[in-house]
Structure 1
Amino acid sequence: MAQHWTEVIPSDHYTVALNGLLHDYDRKILVFLYQPLIGTIAYSLYMTLWMEVEENRIWSSSSRNHHGLMSMMDLSLKEIYEARKKLEGIGLLKVYVKEGENREFIYQLQPPLSPSTFFLDGMLNIFLYKKIGKTQYTRLKRFFSDEEYSNLHSDYKEVTTAFHEVYTSGQQIAKEYNDDLSISPKGEWVDRMESVKIQIPWQTFNFSLLEAGLSESLVPRKALTQTVKDAISNLAFLYNIDVMEMKNIVISAMNEDDEVEMDELRKSARDWYQMNHRDELPSLITQTQPVHSLSITEKPKSKEEELIHYFDTTSPIQFLKDLSGGAEPSKTEIKILEDVMFHQKLPPGVMNVLIDYVMRKTDKKLTKAYVETIASHWARKSIQTTANAMALAKKEHQQYLKWAENKKVGKRSSKSNTKKAVTRTELLPDWFEEETSENKPVQQKQEQKDEHLDLNMKEFQELMKRRNGGGQ
């Protein structure tokens, strides 16, 4: 993600626009359906921008600078920028910019999805269910629905009079009236616009490979309509389904008319995920360290701060890719990350420190038992920032060595273990300083420093180059 100071500064101005009128009912939708997914700060930003537009208007009366928005919300510019990105990603905000001496932004608020569309979305509703649980989700479904009219009034019949039975057309309209009626407004109508569902781009899924692997007799090409492809790309993103698995899911959703049943497609994808994740559902997780848990809030001033900033602004999956030179993480590694982040609730930046520490000590193998042991320890310690994770790793290093020994497979004699414990050279991340090992011999500490094979500055620079697109 780009750094906020390169995207917006306090003196930059903005104007608020609405993509059609927003109604009071939208507030309930935003509070109950969107707020659990985007958080309170992003919700507050949406409502603050909305309030800048006068009632029954779709443009704010004047532009303001971001410094005023910071003061009004009592937030830093970075917090506002991160909240803005959440609104953009979930489809509640479109941003337009005009470059100049001072940039000028248009923040166009998008209406939320209607409850019926949201609960049938196939992606946002899954994330909401995972976030708030079955009881609250069921309560919200009842809150946004009511019993069908026909069920309540089954013994009634409709006797409504039709328009043509009441009204008739008068004399021919004069020409001057025709001219008036044909004139469009100079601006745009103040009206209610349809909200747009979230759609993952097709480019994120290899449809060519999918089609090549599908037999024409089982799945005709005409069955893969635009609607079906939209659903496939969303489901692949939601459940992290690869092409081979998706092929089987599509085949299972075919009906006797050689069409893909959309409900069956979603159900098959959900069943596949739950079968492989112990009946869990996917969570909408922040891919990088949350704003409130950042260790570095200003531009990094040292190499160590650059490394911390890198951990904070890189997703764990991307970090694994960087460590392996751009290669995709295995399914096993991804599952380890998911389990730890879901069950231990470790933030992404903290997870990156854990990955770095474990992989440097285990010959770049993400050992599940070892990761879970340290992760549970950090969770009990309520570690939420990258800097605190690095500090705790230094402090508890000797204890982690014992845990690593206990996890090793194979029988070794006590004598052999004792000998190796004295002579081994520990492989540690370059950020690791032996601040807590004052009693260790100077020569041994020097040997460890000299033999660090981990994330030294050269490797770190290579990681940053790959992350910025120079190595991929």
Structure 2
Amino acid sequence: MFATSDPKHLYYVANKITLFPENEKILIKLYQPLVGAVAIALYQTLINDYDPYGIVSDAKGIYSLQEQLDCSLKDMFHSLHKLEAVGLVQTFLADNVFNNIIVFKLLQVPSADKFFATPLLASLLKEKVGSPTFHDLSHAFAKEAKLREKPIKNARDVSANFFDVFRLPGDEAINPSNEVVEAAQENKAPEVETAEINAQDPIDWDLIKDQYNVYQIPAQEVEIKKNQIRGLIQTYNLSEQEFVDETVPCLHGTHKLNMHEISNTIAENYKRLHTRENIQKQIEEGKKRAIATIKGLDANDRKLLLEANENSPSEFLYKLKTKKGGIVAPGENYIINQLHTQYGLPEDLINILIHTCLTYDTVVTSNRAYRIANDWLQGGISTGVQALEYVKKRKADILKKKNRQSYRQNKRVEKGTDWSKKKAKNEGMSTEQLKDIFKDLKNK
């Protein structure tokens, strides 16, 4: 299987085939559900790209195919691989002075009866289109094939043969002349091959059988479980030796392969491996961004970082617990062991995590440790220095928030008068009061 990311990689088509209407119908109805519309378009484009008079120097870059199909190189090669798998195209790499040239050999679309007589193709079509549509297609093509020729019943062949009609001089019929032999050689043309699925099995079953023979697993057991083994190898992209090595813990001297246990074991190992790989990737990326020093680093911080870098997690936990007057519980060692061996966290980071956990509680609990570890990893923290800086910053933010809330609670706020809620008082004046007011005005 070949693919390239170079759009200028040269290619040419090696042969010509002709698509008749019945071939196109088979191509669209039976092959397109298997390989997709882009693959069918690629196949037809290659048919039209054949140039009987072209030479190697006329080869074009595959970007021309990409432009015609209006798709990415990745999608184009994905479609090409599907065409190769069902046998419609063969791809070769021809050595050239400057580079390898891709050569496409096209194969003729087979008849419908040959398609349905190929179990792998028929089964894949059934899976793609569903049973009802599959049966409809089968019945339609079968009916069409029967209509092409009417059966001849109760009849015998009375046709004349060649020698009943023609005569050749001398022994020409037995030993043709040189001219006839040369003409036959001159007009000899390669037959157009019909597409057949490329069913080469890439798995070395003999190697697997030999490896299992050491553990007294008979070859017949491998044959019986062949499809399940193939599925696991392809799903997890394992080599034959890797598959056997993964399954050894599942062999219990019964001369049988417990595929359920094997499947669960491989899945668990795969999950653990990829989890560790992802964490290691995050840690490596975090180290690139790590800050050499922490702003505001005091003597206690320096001492803590020094101890975190000099001690293993078990030693660090023991010393910290001894200083606090406690003991190390068995579960605590298990937790820090898992963080280091299974997930690959560096020791200095685990030590700061232990210190952080013990500031909240007297023991390192699984729930708290994994929650803090997840929080740090999601924040890109991968070293003890970064972890300590993060913890200090978080504590400072919490303290700042608490002080702000305390200030708001203690602050005294004077309330003003809301005159909109104040009602005017309607107080009347006596006659004597009015007389006094007017009297005062006259005197002025």
Query: Whose radius of gyration is greater, 1 or 2?
Result: 2
Q: Specify which structure has the higher proportion of helix.
A: 2
TM-score (norm. length: structure 2): 0.48
TM-score (norm. length: structure 1): 0.45
